[in-house]
Amino acid sequence: MSGSTPPAREGAPSKDSRPSPAGNQGRILSGIKPTGNLHLGNYLGAIRNWVAMQNNFECLFCVVDLHAITAEKIEPAELTRATREVAAGYIAAGIDPAQAALFVQSHVPAHAELAWVFNCVARLGWLNRMTQFKDKAGKNREAASAGLYVYPNLMAADILLYKATHVPVGEDQKQHVELTRDIAQKFNHDYATNLFVLPEPVIQGAGTRVMSLRDGTKKMSKSDGGSDYAVIYMTDDADSIAQKIRKATTDPNPLPESVAGLEGRAEAANLLNIYAALTGQTLEQAVAEQAGQQFSQFKAKLTETAVAVLGPINAEMKRLMDDPEEIDRALKRGAEKAKAIAGPVLAEAYKTVGFLPSA
């Protein structure tokens, strides 16, 4: 079994290897795949938390295009469009590109280069436990791409290249951040170094696991385009949002008086979680506020809230998509900032491994 179990020893990064800009609580890195359209799960599970953290952390936000080609094939033009759209979504939601480094993963080659090293650090046993691979590969694993299998090693490179201290993500990414810690720890241990910093996942708020509007037991995801009523997109206009919420699956009972009353009511729980996340409340607070309501009244309130939050984001995304040069300029600047951090870390990793420095 040795070799498939991560080393028990805690990594001990020196203080010096941590980013320490004045007044800063650390450095965050996170990313979203440019596959399909951004949806409410991406917003509530990830982007919204990034916006809330951006003043206290040094921030890097990546559009992870290398990850986007690991699953089903995307039309090249669609990948290009979606890459800009994810960047537009970040900016429209309130990420300040002058402050954060906002960039495209493939613009910083160090990600792919460090990922190769991590392909040689991570054990097959570790990758075999990844639930996202199992879900995405489905029954026909033989037909899955090798890229889908080593996907978590590339994600580890994304994070460790910047010595990120915190990684704000939705619940589904927790296992990947834990694997990232295992990779950092094994590298540090095997090469007797403290180069890599062990990152903490930050999974917070009521929107860390937004479910499909049609089936409260299924995660809302970009690949669930099948039933378009299942997913609220960040680009949806007020009418589509209203229609989707109106058609959302519910049950015949009024909303419960307490969180315990949501047991066995996945759809009610999901809509209340969405409402809580949109209004910045805890689930408990949202349940107390809506106790005893009929779904029809609650859905009207939820629609009003969702439109008020998403409407301005939607309008700004449209404006930016009509001005791709503004997006591209921000991404260029972001890639330069990212490279300035990633370059020396990759060089240090290569030196640590013993690669002959290039002349």
Catalytic residues: 136, 219, 222
Q: What's the rounded Cα separation, in Å, for the pair 128 and 134? A: 8
Q: Does 136 bind ligand AMP (CB under 6 A)?
A: no
Is residue 31 a contact point for ligand TRP (CB under 6 A)? Answer: yes
What Cα–Cα distance (Å) separates residue 77 from each residue in 18, 225, 338? 39, 19, 25
- 103, containing H or E segment: strand 101-104
Burial call 284-298: b when 16+ CB within 10 Å, e when fewer: eebbebbeeeebeeb
Grouping H, G, I as helix, E, B as strand and the rest as coil, residue 32 is strand
Binds ligand AMP by CB under 6 A, chosen from 32, 160, 197, 245: 32
According to the binding rule CB under 6 A, does residue 338 interact with ligand TRP?
no
Contact between 235 and ligand TRP (CB under 6 A)? Answer: no
Q: Is 64 in the site for ligand TRP (CB under 6 A)?
A: yes
Query: Looking at residue 20, what DSSP letter applies?
Result: -
State the minimum distance, in angstroms, from the CB of residue 136 to ligand TRP.
10
Q: Which does 158 bind (CB under 5 to 8 A by kind): ligand TRP, ligand AMP, none?
A: ligand TRP
Residue from 153, 165, 221, 270 that binds ligand AMP (CB under 6 A)?
221
Q: Is 173 in the site for ligand TRP (CB under 6 A)?
A: yes
Candidates 130, 169, 242, 310; binder of ligand TRP (CB under 6 A) is 169
d(CA 45, CA 180): 19
**Residue 158 within binding range of ligand TRP, rule CB under 6 A:** yes
Type of residue numbered 288:
A
Q: How many residues does the chain have?
A: 359
Size of the site for ligand AMP (CB under 6 A): 18
User: To 5 degrees, how large is the angle CA 44–CA 45–CA 50?
Assistant: 85
Chain residues binding ligand TRP by CB under 6 A are 29-31, 33, 64, 67, 155, 158-159, 167, 169, 173, 176
Chain residues binding ligand AMP by CB under 6 A are 32-33, 41-42, 45-46, 169-170, 172-173, 207-210, 219-222
